[in-house]
């Protein structure tokens, strides 16, 4: 059963269930006039804001207001909230492997623990040209 909102020519509005989306519209329950479907409001429930990703969080003293206590407290709460979320949903954490090299040929794509060093070096040298 699919619920739809309907309105007749006399502006009576009602909600009714249809067996399928191709079923005929029911007549108005008040005046028995023909009806048409209305666009329903979209209701999104149980949505959550994951907050900023680790890449979007500040990485330097200057980016947290030069260490202003309110800014530090805000980002600490934000980071702790993100860490709890990542514990529950590890797929949000992204690649958490340690970075072994991030300068020179690895500036665009850091070398991480577990990467094939020869392959990563060849790709970095090829992409650098």
pLDDT tens-digit readout, 36-87: 999 877 777 777 778 898 888 888 888 888 889 999 999 999 999 999 999 9
At 19, list the tokens.
């067996």
Q: Is 2 helix (H, G, I), strand (E, B) or coil?
A: strand
What span, in angstroms and rounded, lies between the C-alpha atoms of 6 and 14?
A: 5
User: pTM here?
Assistant: 0.45
Mean residue pLDDT of the chain comes to 89
Residue tagged 């007749």 (tokens): 8
Q: Is 9 helix (H, G, I), strand (E, B) or coil?
A: coil
- Report the pLDDT value the prediction gives residue 76, as an integer from 0 to 100: 94
Q: Where are the domains of the chain?
A: 2-38, 99-128
């Amino acid at each position: 059963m699919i619920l739809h909102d309907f309105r007749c020519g006399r502006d009576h509005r009602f909600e009714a269930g249809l067996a399928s989306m191709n079923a005929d519209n029911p007549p108005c329950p008040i005046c028995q006039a023909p009806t048409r479907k209305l666009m329903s409001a979209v209701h999104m429930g149980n949505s959550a804001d994951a907050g900023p990703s680790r890449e979007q969080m500040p990485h330097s003293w200057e980016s947290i207001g030069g260490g202003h206590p309110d800014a530090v407290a805000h980002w600490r709460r934000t980071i702790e909230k993100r860490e709890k979320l990542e514990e529950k949903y590890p797929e949000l954490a992204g690649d958490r492997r340690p970075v072994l090299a991030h300068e020179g040929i690895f500036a665009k794509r850091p070398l991480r623990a577990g990467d094939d060093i020869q392959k990563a070096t060849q790709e970095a040298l090829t992409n650098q040209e």
